[in-house]
Chains A and B, each alone.
Chain A
Amino acid sequence: MREEPVHISDAQINEDLTRSLRRPSLLFVLVILALLVVLGVGVILYVYMVLSGMGVAGINRPVQWGLFIASFVFWIGLSHSGTLISAILRLTQAEWRRPITRGAEAMTVFTVAMGALYPLIHLGRVWKFYYIIPIPDGRGLWPNFRSPLVWDFMAITTYLTGSLLYLYLPMVPDMAVLRDRSTGLRRQLYTLLSLGWRGTEQEWRHLHRTLGVFMVVILPVAVSVHSIVSWDFAMAIAPPTWHSTIFAPYFVAGAIYSGLALVVTIMWLLRWGFHLENYLRADQFNNLGKMLFMMSIIWFYFWFSDALTTWYGRVPAEFETLRQTILGPFLPFFVTMILCNFVIPFATLGFRRVRTTAVGFVVSLLINVGMYCERFLIVVPGLAHGRLPFNWRDYAPTYVEIGIIAATFAGFILLYLLFTRFFPAVAIWEIKEGQLLRSTRDVAGVKLPTITRTE
């Protein structure tokens, strides 16, 4: 695989990066149709659940939160790395970020969108969901600001808005490119979205300055969102193993980890699907793989610190929950989690050969299988095996839960595919800017860089 960037002409860049916007292949259409079917089935199941009651899902007493909440944490976790990685790499001016940023930011928006559905899906009376919104009313009735669920609501809406803007802002110059080369309805769409961008120097300055602010602001928002999701659990004292001070950083680490893995997965698919071999090169996969390798160690470190404290402390209820997780009915999930989250990535991602080949793609998928198990193991065992053994009960999801969750996966893929149909998945201007930065000019026989610094 090619390591060093090659020089590509501007026309060729436009051609390559807008390829996905042209007439879709038959396969693409078929995939979209299949996804629509899965989505439709999920919607029907959801309506069925709302009309008859939450009892059609597998949750019970004491496992009042099941796969829905595990999926919620999973999606919000996935969303984490998109903006985070793009912001960090932009801030540190890592040149290899250029083909990744757009795809990662889009991933964040769509995963948050899917995650944000779950608090609604799992509500017993979804038709009253607006009780949680702080709307001033005549009775002076506010939501309970002490409840982590209210924090959740606010954090997620902030993050969704923020990451949507952070996706859109750097897309404006590309919208102008597309506006100038399209016709009909599409032209109208891009005209609207390009906000009259002409590419003057002042406009660029404004864009860079705004992005500079956004990068810095979105980082604490991203960290806070996943901390708050962890506090849904850590603030609860009753389920053993939930009430843990390490949960916030542990969740953030897990979120960065699973999000990064999804970025890698998506980058491979973009490379293969849209023939972006000259853009998504070994350089990118090598660096992302190194980050994954590091995150696998950090994730294990956090998990191990938490588990060791519980194991050693021998507080009866917590110890029992941990024992059930590691040696009890949850053993298959536990083994999958440790294998996929730590053993396999740690053993393989140290090798460049793995990071830069399709094996890396497989490992990135496995990591998210492991992370899903991890989310499940955080939510369920503490509920199922609580403090009063008389009430112990196991949990198995029903077809309703599985169907609805499958629909959100289909929804995410669908949104992403449609996104690539309408917007370039790699930022055109960022690639061109990168080329310009690398290029040199002959000035009176001396080779000088074209631009000394832009950002």
Chain B
Amino acid sequence: MPDPSSGTRKWGMVIDLDRCNGCEACVVACRVENNVAVAGADECGKGRQAYWIRVERYWHGEFPNVRASFMPILCQQCQNAPCEPVCPVYASYHDRAEQVNAQIYNRCIGTRYCANNCPYYVRFFNWFDYWFDPVVPTINVAYTNPMRMGLNLDPRRNQLNPDVTVRSRGVMEKCTFCIQRIRRARLDVIKQGGFQSADGIEHVKVPDGAVQPACVQTCPTGALVFGDLSDPESAVSKLATSERRFRLLEELGTEPVVIYLKELRP
């Protein structure tokens, strides 16, 4: 069997801001796919909500001539990621195989340094145990929910995606480009014998479009496109050369692989 991690690839995403209408379907899809916890209204009010992809809304102009613009922001999967070197325990690390910035939850000790050093604010800390009953149920008065007391009656447990870890309190989490889907697609290719051999190394080539993160799959306007940037024929590569392209906070030198498209209006 070939090494599923072999071969060159560079997963990337194009976000067409001219298409996004701010419906936030991507946010919901991501939450469901990746077991992102619902923090509750109180916690949201304190800035503790988690959403691996969010839609930032900005207003332009003065009333009544206002226009809203929307900007979906997820982990930019920086190729020179500032969140990686600062982690003292390698919980935030660069996955060589998939060329994505990954997070090992059970390695994380919760210094929150990576979140400080992410210019895009896409790293989310688990301030409490959002899914499970705490060790001592009554001590957790700050996050009380009658459903969580005593028996494990919380119905949200039934919606958990078995492919994704549920994070405990005290660890950092973030968008993984739905790495569970990428890995599954790669194994599917191997199962069907669809790997090519070049220069003695067996490359597993996932066909363009075979992997779609949940947000991309859900976006009704087709604003999000995902694929392999190292393959010049992929849909994402073709879009990425558009003259409308820019990358967020590019001046910081983080080399994101999330590429935004936006027509400049005078």
B261 at the interface (CB under 8 A from A): no
Which of chain B's residues has its CB closest to A58's CB? Answer: B46
Give the residue of B56, B57, B87, B116 whose beta carbon is less than 8 angstroms from that of A238. Answer: B116
B264 at the interface (CB under 8 A from A): no
Give the residue of B47, B85, B118, B143 whose beta carbon is less than 8 angstroms from that of A146. Answer: B85
B129 at the interface (CB under 8 A from A): yes
Within B110-136, which residues are at the interface with A (CB < 8 Å)?
Answer: 110-113, 115-121, 124-129, 134-136
Chain B nearest CB, measured from A413 CB (Å): 28
B88 close to A62 (CB less than 8 A): no
Which of chain A's residues has its CB closest to B58's CB? Answer: A390
Specify which chain A residues have a CB less than 8 angstroms from the CB of B168 in the assembled complex: 125
A77–B216 Cα gap in the complex (Å)? 49
Within B58-91, which residues are at the interface with A (CB < 8 Å)?
Answer: 58, 73, 82, 85-90
Within A112-169, which residues are at the interface with B (CB < 8 Å)?
Answer: 119, 122-126, 128-129, 131-132, 141, 143-144, 146-150, 153
A150–B86 Cα gap in the complex (Å)? 9
Within B156-204, which residues are at the interface with A (CB < 8 Å)?
Answer: 168-172
Specify which chain A residues have a CB less than 8 angstroms from the CB of B110 in the assembled complex: 54, 123-125
B139 at the interface (CB under 8 A from A): yes
Specify which chain A residues have a CB less than 8 angstroms from the CB of B89 in the assembled complex: 131-132, 143-144
A147–B43 Cα gap in the complex (Å)? 30
A62–B56 Cα gap in the complex (Å)? 15
B116 close to A55 (CB less than 8 A): no
B29 at the interface (CB under 8 A from A): no
Give the residue of A56, A62, A123, A232 whose beta carbon is less than 8 angstroms from that of B109. Answer: A123
Specify which chain B residues have a CB less than 8 angstroms from the CB of A150 in the assembled complex: 88
Give 1 or 0 for each of B245-264: 1 = CB within 8 Å of chain A CB. 00001001000000000000
Specify which chain A residues have a CB less than 8 angstroms from the CB of B90 in the assembled complex: 141, 143-144
A448–B126 Cα gap in the complex (Å)? 74
A53 and B169 contact, Cβ closer than 8 Å, known pairs A62-B121, A132-B89, A237-B252: yes
B135 close to A61 (CB less than 8 A): no
B108 at the interface (CB under 8 A from A): yes
Specify which chain B residues have a CB less than 8 angstroms from the CB of A122 in the assembled complex: 111-112
- The binding surface of chain A is classed by DSSP as loop
A214 at the interface (CB under 8 A from B): no
A65 at the interface (CB under 8 A from B): yes
Specify which chain B residues have a CB less than 8 angstroms from the CB of A65 in the assembled complex: 112, 116
B48 at the interface (CB under 8 A from A): yes
Specify which chain B residues have a CB less than 8 angstroms from the CB of A235 in the assembled complex: 86
- The binding surface of chain B is classed by DSSP as loop
Specify which chain B residues have a CB less than 8 angstroms from the CB of A56 in the assembled complex: 142
A236–B111 Cα gap in the complex (Å)? 14
Specify which chain B residues have a CB less than 8 angstroms from the CB of A52 in the assembled complex: 128, 134, 139-143, 169
A386 close to B119 (CB less than 8 A): yes
B238 at the interface (CB under 8 A from A): no
Which of chain A's residues has its CB closest to B71's CB? Answer: A390
Give 1 or 0 for each of A237-266: 1 = CB within 8 Å of chain B CB. 111000000000000000000000000000
Give 1 or 0 for each of B142-164: 1 = CB within 8 Å of chain A CB. 11000000000000000000000
A128 close to B109 (CB less than 8 A): yes
A391–B71 Cα gap in the complex (Å)? 13
A-B contact pairs, 27 of them (CB 8 A): A51-B135, A51-B139, A52-B128, A53-B126, A53-B140, A53-B142, A55-B48, A55-B169, A60-B46, A60-B47, A62-B47, A64-B116, A65-B116, A123-B109, A124-B169, A124-B172, A125-B109, A125-B168, A126-B109, A131-B89, A131-B109, A141-B90, A143-B90, A144-B87, A149-B111, A237-B82, A390-B58
